[in-house]
Structure 1
Amino acid sequence: MKKIDTEEFIFNGDGKFSIAQTKTKIKDFYEDKEDYEISLSQLNKQLDELQSMMYAHNRYGLLVIFQAMDAAGKDGTLKAVFSGVNPQGLKCHSFKRPTETELEHDFLWRTVLQLPERGSITVFNRSYYEEVLVVKVHPEIVTQNQRLPAELTDDLDKLWKNRYEDITNLETYLHRNGIRVVKFFLNVSKEEQAERLIERIQDPTKNWKFDEQDVKERGFWKEYQQAYEDLINATSTHKCPWYVIPADDKKNMRLIVAKVLAQELKKLNMQYPEASDERHEELKKLIKIIQE
């Protein structure tokens, strides 16, 4: 595998992020399919080892957030990147349309319930960022369905600004409590999305993935692109940056995501718990008992 410079994909709030100037396709980091599979397998092994150490260390937690347009490849990326990672310390949660119970609470409530425990990795397939994406593109959701007081929905620009601030504050709070947040935006082109949606229709094994709503939402492409640009500019920080990953090539995307996660886990001050001298002596005695 060619060297992946993850700094190329990071946005930490320095400077202005422009989605129009961000690539959806770059040169491959693999030579061929075999090279890709070997490289991904090596990264899978690294992630498993690092996750095992984090589980034993039991001080940090990791929240991994995936956001993307429809058909960008979130599900396949999750499956490929976390293949082989011990499920004992890994949880995945997919957020869909809010339930009646969830609508009775604040917009962060349902995601806060799913935050990772210490020693574990939790993956959000979509997240609280939907509240400044689909809800922003379709503001009638917040004005008609979210049961907010009228004075909070009179000025929608202020409402979005407040939500960006609330999200940033939550992520800062998590970081201060040992829960690291890694955020990925899988950046697919409109042309590539079209091919993948058509494939879902034509391939009987992928029909179940196709939702007519995806085609309707495609009609709001420009609005979603602007919403992503706005949220990345508003919520990128040095502690919790965004990684914007070119998503037109799925193999490349998965390698980059896996590399980023391995690097982020290596940054944590983790080690396996060490036994005291007294404990070592006790263990030696137990070995003798077992051997009798």
Structure 2
Amino acid sequence: MNMKDFIVSPNSKIQLDDYPTTVSDKPKDETLTTELIPNSVERLKELHWRLYAESKKGIIVVLQALDAGGKDEAISYIFSNLNAQGLKTNAFQKPSDTEKKHDYLWRMHDLLPERGQVGILNRSHYEEVIAPRVHDLLGDEVLPEEMDQEEVWQMRYRQINDYERYLQENGFEVIKFFFNVSKDKQRDRLLERLKDPKKNWEFSFSDVEERQHWEEYQEIFAEMLSHTSTEVSPWYVLPADDEWYSRFVISSVMIDVLERIDPQYPTFTDEEQERIDEAIQTLENE
């Protein structure tokens, strides 16, 4: 697997059709579920423990998709295996009245991980350049005077890129995954949620309503990916019709980033080691 196949090249103009929702040359699901994913999760767990123990850097994982794209399942099958103390998971909700009184990135601060943690954003600040465009929700937001509404999105793309560079320069890597699901596959998953009583709780009537804006969403996603995939924080576009393969891609990218960070378990100074040796001897002589 070449992870570059999934990256949106910085400064490129893409269409989502450029990226497949399913691939033919992937490993079989049985191989993925019994070998590849378990092995990658074990490696990811080890690296995550080292990240947590060292507590010098953190990782922010952005999961962005339409409903039934596969975000929740990725969290369940991949990230839930990690050390809970070093994991912070948040679902990005509609802004509260208090949050609306601040700039649109203000509420991100409470959602971010600490050093040593992996923070999962189930949807994210990118909602601020998606939903308001589809549903014309800018409303009473304070914007620069005489700025055309279409210019707002270009401004926000720049601000988001600057914000992610700020995070990276302060020790927090931002890894972004877009779940590229086909319209047919989304329909099948929504029908499954409706027909299976055990999955009814996952369904929202808004899921069906949002499908009416499918083409508009595809155009906005493509523009967002084109303008916010950077050298510092690129987007990875997942073939989200292939659930297990997408999860394997996620775990592989996470491993690649953590291996580049190369966190290490803390070691003792000579003085501390002498005290450790004395403590060992004391305990062993009890």
> 1:216 maps to which residue?
209
Counterpart in 2 of 1:5?
2
The one of 238, 244, 247 equivalent to 1:245 is: 238
- Cα deviation, 1:199-221, whole Å, max 9, x if unaligned, reads 11111111111111111110001
Give the residue type in structure 1 aligned to 2:52: Y
Cα 1:80–1:152 change in 2 (3 A) is: farther
Which of 222, 234, 252 is the matching residue for 1:229? 222
Q: In the alignment, does 2:49 pair up with 1:52?
A: yes
Using structure 2 for the length normalisation, give the TM-score.
Answer: 0.95
The residue aligned with 1:268 is 261
- Of 27, 40, 44, the match for 1:43: 40
Counting only pairs closer than 5 Å after superposition, residues 158-237 of structure 1 correspond to structure 2 as 158-237=151-230
Matched residues in 1 for 2:119 and 2:144: separation?
35
Q: Contact 1:153–1:159 at 8 Å: present in 2 too?
A: no
Question: Which deviates more, 13-22 or 94-103?
Answer: 13-22
Letter of the 1:117 counterpart: E
Corresponding residue of 2:102: 105
Count of residues in Structure 1 that have an aligned counterpart in Structure 2: 285
Asked if the contact 1:61–1:179 (Cα under 8 Å) also holds between the matched residues in 2, the reply is yes
CA distance in 2, matches of 1:240, 1:129: 13
**Could you tell me how far apart the structure 1 residues matched to 2:145 and 2:222 are?**
24
Q: CA deviation at 1:17?
A: 2.0
1:18 aligns with 2:11: no
SS in 2 for 1:83: helix
Determine which of 132, 138, 154 is the counterpart of 1:142. 138
SS of 1:271's equivalent in the other structure is coil
Find runs of 4+ consecutive structure 1 residues off by over 4 angstroms.
Answer: 150-154
Structure 2 residues not aligned, in runs of 5+: none
Q: Which residue of 1 aligns with 2:26?
A: 29
TM-score, L = length of structure 1 = 0.93
- The question of 1:281 aligning with 2:267 is answered no
Task: Note the residue ranges of structure 1 that are not aligned, 5 or more in a row.
Answer: none
1:127 to 121, 124, 127: 124
1:156 to 142, 149, 158: 149
Q: Take 2:117 and 2:205, find their aligned partners in 1: how far apart are those partners? A: 36
What is the one-letter code of the residue matched to 2:255? A
Percentage of matched positions with identical amino acids = 38
